[in-house]
Amino acid sequence: MGKNITLKKIVGFMAVFCLLFSVMNIPFYPFINDGYQYLSILRKSGQVADLDSDCLDVIFLGDSECWSSISPLQLLGEYGIASYNCSTSGQWAGDSLVMLNKILKNQKPSVVVLGANTLFNQVNLYKYMLSKMVPILHYHNVYSDDNKKGGDAAFLGANLSELVVPYTGSENYMENSVSAQPLEGLMQEKLNGIFQLCQDNGIQLIMISSPSALNWTQGKHDSIENWCTANSVDYIDYNEKSVLEKIAFDWSTDTRDGGDHVNLSGSKKVTSDIGNILKNKFSLKDHRGESEYSEWLEDYLTMRIYKNRRNK
Amino acid sequence: MTLSYNSPLFFAAFLPLVAVIYQLTPKKFRWAVLLIADYGFFFMWSKFLLLYNVATTFMTYLFARKLSSMKKAPEGMDRKVFKKKKHRILVVSVLLNLAVLVVLKYTNFIGSSVTSLWGGSFTALTIAVPIGISYYTLQCISYLSDVSNKKIEAEQNFFKLALYTSFFPTILEGPITRFNELSADLFAGYSITADNLAVGYERIIWGLFKKMVIADHLAPVVTAIFRDHSDNGGLCLIGAVFCTIQLYMDFAGTIDIAIGAGKIFGITITENFRQPFFAKNAGDFWHRWHITLGTFFRDYIFYPVSLSKPIQNLTKHLTKKGHKLLARYLGPSIALLCVWLANGFWHGPYWTYVFYGIYYFVFMIIEMFAEKPFEAWCERHNLNVNGWGIRTFRFIKLFIIVIFGEMFFRASTFALGWKMFSNIFVSFNWKGCVSTLPYLGMDVWDYVTVSLAFIVVIIVSVLKEKKYPIRQKFEGMPLAARWGILYALIFAVILFGAYGPGYDAVAMMYAGF
């Protein structure tokens, strides 16, 4: 008898728990729209939301590869291109789409540059689905102050590092893995979403692969190239030998961690090249004479002077 | 795939699944369900390194049966010779158990230490170590010793012994159980009752609260301080305090989960903590912290060494020569040194751990000599040794001993530990400390959350120390109040637990030892 009563109590406890749990989930459902890696998405999109409306012509999306290789301050200083690097660590295609949606609320860029490696960042499908069904378990840290931090705001979103850790492996790393690495269904769906969003807003989409001897492969290159050809999207792979030679990329001086991410020296080369392409291919306005951008230009000059002094 | 005790996969999937299968199985075979669960759990962590556990268990099983069969000296054999022979078998079995542990865990340490003596270099070997080896090896040693001393009978069924040496709630972090304490419950096949289920899960929730709300929040701050901020004495001091709290909450929380998991099956697992920070000195602290390790060393190192012939002879010799004080203290001191060296080495193949052992040895020796004079001094000055003032003094003294001990314990090298320790006195930059602290992985709200949770744990500890019957009072509460407390704890873990984006999964700290 006693046992039955206790069992009833356990069932009752679980029933009330389920009810409370469901109610507690309600305030977290809206945050589903903030992406899977919502802390970094909110932090970065918050930085852009703080800028003047329609002040950016180019947006960079991607993971740490793109985050470390594109410097918007340099693009402004060298070419007058107003841009922001909205890449975040480990960003996957779904979050790139979320980020772009958020950016478009107060910006009307002409070009979106997508770092291709974001399409190969796996997300645990079960956890992803669970985060949508029971958001409290995934989004409970949403009020954390973490989303207000971000030292990269000073560099318009770029993650720059002077650290030099040379890559000592073979320069033919692209040849080591020739087997195709097809885009997974979910990634394909999110990529199409980004493409569609760009088309709907009259934005030109470009894809790039940052130099990464440890991360990039011929298989990935082939998949991206196939998709870009099929959709008439420009694709620049900075891992191709000819491209690396063109920008004079040096694996002994231009990487910060032994060949995975580029350092400041490497990012200068990549940024300079992409700036040249953007300037020549699209009629982007030169903002260097405009007062609204003078502060950023000062930042660029300070950074350059500081660097030159250090080099002396 | 690994199954941490604080992973939902463990407490919300694995544990209920095992419980259901266990309950549906006839009573006679329920222990076998637990054994399958043990091996499944072990395999998920260590894959085929499980074979080490099986082999150690088999070796222990054979030796124990041999020792158990040696009840009396055979006709014609001298009793002393027989006893010596039995003792030799016990020593061999213990050494073989230790050999497996030493080879797997200490080869690189011994190799690098020995080669460094003559300035050579040692290429570290990659040796995979199975989970829980430090725990189940001690259990095997205690089992063999108890069988040899006729405290227990050798288990006749190998698989039942295997259940004892691989029991999934205790395999990762202990407690280091004794066969005679656990076997009856392990093999009884008790039915799962609603009461045990409720009590078991309540204990699991309490453990999760300690680990996920307090320990895991502190983890990134402690890591950052020990890695990047050893120059700032203020941060070093905070790092030492946080590291102590983190270690305690992590270890005690995980033990709560283990005890709760056992309770679900009606298995009572020995407690491993008893409000350690209310201890009156370092010796008492170790009677309350990692209790089962302390009792293991007491029973299988301290007593045997103290009562060994060489020590007895030495004591007799010193007494004869008139060195009464030395005769009284030298034996226990040697035994204590063995205990603390073993304690240090047990934690792992690093000199910081050896230093940690010696550190406590020194304090215990000081206490051994100073306790009585101190009490006499208190009496002379009309101070109550159990009064509030002396108790506060003892608490502060113990807290300082413990936090500095944990600082060296946590530091990656002795040099780093020493640098942090000395910087507290020579480079204490409070301003830099206050300005840096908010950027080390915890924001203001995290500090508020952790502080409140810590206060809850302290209140419970104080009540327990005062022998307040918390459990009975809790059960006597109206249903709504009881459920309210449980829901508050569960939602505190869900809402304020350090998991999900922004947090790296924090491994159970003592699982690495």
Query: For residue B377, how many other CB atoms are within 10 A of its CB?
Result: 12
Report how many Cβ contacts below 8 Å link chain A to chain B.
Answer: 58
Binning pLDDT at 50, 70 and 90, where does residue A1 land?
very low
Cα angle B2-B18-B247, degrees, rounded to a multiple of 5: 45
Distance CA A189, CA A37 (A): 18
Instruction: Return the residue of B nearest to A134 by Cα.
Output: B494
What is the side-by-side order of every strand in the sheet holding A58-61?
Answer: A83-85, A58-61, A111-115, A204-209, A234-237
User: 3-state SS string over A151-176?
Assistant: HHHHHCCCCCCCCCCCCCCCCCHHHH
Tell me the shortest Cα–Cα distance from B232 to chain A, in angstroms: 22
Percent of the residues in chain B that have a pLDDT greater than 70, as a whole number = 98
- Mean pLDDT of the residues in chain A: 89
Asked whether B385 and B307 are in contact (CB, 8 A), the reply is no
Q: CB A149 to CB B439 under 8 A?
A: yes
CA B383 centroid distance within chain: 36
Contacts of B197 in chain A (CB under 8 A): 10
Burial (Cβ within 10 Å: 0-12, 13-18, ≥19) of residue B428:
middle
Q: CB A7 to CB B194 under 8 A?
A: yes
pLDDT tops 60 at residue B12: yes
| Helix or strand run (H / E) with residue A289 | none
Residues 81-120, chain A, touching B (beta carbon < 8 A): none
Residue B490's nearest CA partner among B175, B84, B129, B202 is B202
Comparing A185 with A19, the larger pLDDT belongs to A19
Contacts of B443 in chain A (CB under 8 A): 144-146
Residues 121-150, chain A, touching B (beta carbon < 8 A): 136-141, 143-146, 149
pLDDT tops 90 at residue B451: yes
| Nearest CB to B445 within list A6, A13, A145 | A145
- β A111-115/A58-61 pair status: parallel
| Nearest CB to A10 within list B197, B487, B503 | B197
From residue A166, how far is each of A70, A214, B382 by CA, in Å? 19, 12, 71
Q: Can you give the pLDDT at residue A311?
A: 42
B162: amino acid identity, one letter: A
Phi, psi for A161 (deg, rounded to 5): -145, 135
Residue B273 has which token pair? 């903590």
Residue A160's nearest CA partner among A84, A268, A263, A249 is A263
Burial (Cβ within 10 Å: 0-12, 13-18, ≥19) of residue B344:
buried
Q: Per-residue b/e over B316-334, b at no fewer than 16 CB within 10 Å?
A: eebeeeeeeeebebebbbb
Beta strands in chain A (DSSP E): 58-61, 83-85, 111-115, 204-209, 234-237
Instruction: Return the residue of B nearest to A35 by Cα.
Output: B501
pLDDT tops 50 at residue B214: yes
Tell me the shortest Cα–Cα distance from B45 to chain A, in angstroms: 20
Handedness of CA B357, B358, B364, B367 (dihedral sign): negative
Residue A238's nearest CA partner among A224, A256, A258, A227 is A224
Residue B141's nearest CA partner among B103, B115, B179, B88 is B179
B501 touches chain A (CB under 8 A): yes
Residue B176's nearest CA partner among B133, B136, B130, B131 is B136
pLDDT tops 50 at residue B303: yes
Q: Can you give the pLDDT at residue B511?
A: 63
Q: CB A144 to CB B502 under 8 A?
A: yes
Asked whether A106 and A56 are in contact (CB, 8 A), the reply is no
pLDDT tops 90 at residue A300: no
A9 touches chain B (CB under 8 A): yes
B490 touches chain A (CB under 8 A): yes
- B75-87: average pLDDT: 86
Q: Cβ neighbours of residue B393 under 8 Å, at least 6 residues apart? A: none
**Domain-wise residue ranges, chain A:** 29-311
Percent of the residues in chain A that have a pLDDT greater than 70, as a whole number = 92
List, for residues A79-126, the tens digit of each pLDDT value.
Answer: 999 999 999 989 999 999 999 999 999 999 999 999 999 999 988 888
Asked whether A222 and A230 are in contact (CB, 8 A), the reply is no
| Nearest CB to B483 within list A16, A39, A140 | A16
- B327-354: average pLDDT: 91
Number of residues that this document lists for chain A: 312
Contacts of B487 in chain A (CB under 8 A): 16-17, 20
Q: Can you give the pLDDT at residue A150?
A: 59
List, for residues B390-421, the tens digit of each pLDDT value.
Answer: 889 999 999 999 999 999 999 999 999 999 99
| Helix or strand run (H / E) with residue A178 | none
Distance CA B3, CA B10 (A): 6
pLDDT tops 90 at residue B116: no
Q: CB A6 to CB B194 under 8 A?
A: yes
The predicted model scores a pTM of 0.86
Cα angle B193-B4-B16, degrees, rounded to a multiple of 5: 25
Instruction: Return the residue of A nearest to B503 by Cα.
Output: A141
Asked whether B343 and B289 are in contact (CB, 8 A), the reply is no
List, for residues A6-19, the tens digit of each pLDDT value.
Answer: 778 889 999 999 99
List, for residues A21-80, the tens digit of each pLDDT value.
Answer: 999 999 999 999 898 989 889 989 999 999 999 999 999 999 999 999 999 999 999 999
Residue B143 has which token pair? 């089992």
B129 touches chain A (CB under 8 A): no
CA B487 centroid distance within chain: 29
Q: At what angle do helices B30-46 and B158-166 cross, to 10 degrees?
A: 50
DSSP string, A195-240: HHHHHHTTPEEEEEE---TTT--HHHHHHHHHHHHHTT-EEEETTS
Q: Can you give the pLDDT at residue A183?
A: 86
Look at residue B138 and give its three-state secondary structure. Answer: helix
List, for residues B363-390, the tens digit of each pLDDT value.
Answer: 999 988 888 888 899 889 888 888 888 8
Q: Can you give the pLDDT at residue B210?
A: 96
Q: Which CATH number fits domain A29-311: 3.40.50.1110, 2.160.20.10, 1.10.1370.30, 2.40.170.20?
A: 3.40.50.1110
Q: Cβ neighbours of residue A71 under 8 Å, at least 6 residues apart? A: A85, A155, A156, A158, A160, A267, A268, A271
Tell me the shortest Cα–Cα distance from B442 to chain A, in angstroms: 9
**ipTM of this predicted complex?**
0.80
Instruction: Return the residue of B nearest to A137 by Cα.
Output: B494
Residues 415-454, chain B, touching A (beta carbon < 8 A): 439, 443-446
Q: Can you give the pLDDT at residue B509?
A: 66
Binning pLDDT at 50, 70 and 90, where does residue B152 land?
very high
Mutation target among B190, B447, B483, B504 for the A interface, most CBs of A within 10 A: B483
| Nearest CB to B445 within list A21, A143, A149 | A143
pLDDT tops 80 at residue B50: yes
A151 touches chain B (CB under 8 A): no
Instruction: Return the residue of A nearest to B500 by Cα.
Output: A138
DSSP B422: H
B194 touches chain A (CB under 8 A): yes
pLDDT tops 80 at residue A273: yes
- β A111-115/A234-237 pair status: unpaired
Residues 47-106, chain B, touching A (beta carbon < 8 A): none
- β A83-85/A234-237 pair status: unpaired
pLDDT tops 80 at residue B318: yes
**Domain-wise residue ranges, chain B:** 8-191, 193-269+429-513, 280-399
A39 touches chain B (CB under 8 A): yes
Binning pLDDT at 50, 70 and 90, where does residue B158 land?
very high
Tell me the shortest Cα–Cα distance from A96 to chain B, in angstroms: 16
Q: Can you give the pLDDT at residue B202?
A: 94
Look at residue B180 and give its three-state secondary structure. Answer: helix
From residue B377, how far is each of B140, B387, B390, B396, B506 by CA, in Å? 46, 14, 12, 19, 47
Q: Can you give the pLDDT at residue A3?
A: 47
Q: Can you give the pLDDT at residue B468?
A: 93
Residue B349 has which token pair? 């193949």
Query: For residue B261, how many other CB atoms are within 10 A of its CB?
Result: 27
Burial (Cβ within 10 Å: 0-12, 13-18, ≥19) of residue B185:
middle
Tell me the shortest Cα–Cα distance from B44 to chain A, in angstroms: 19
- B425-430: average pLDDT: 87
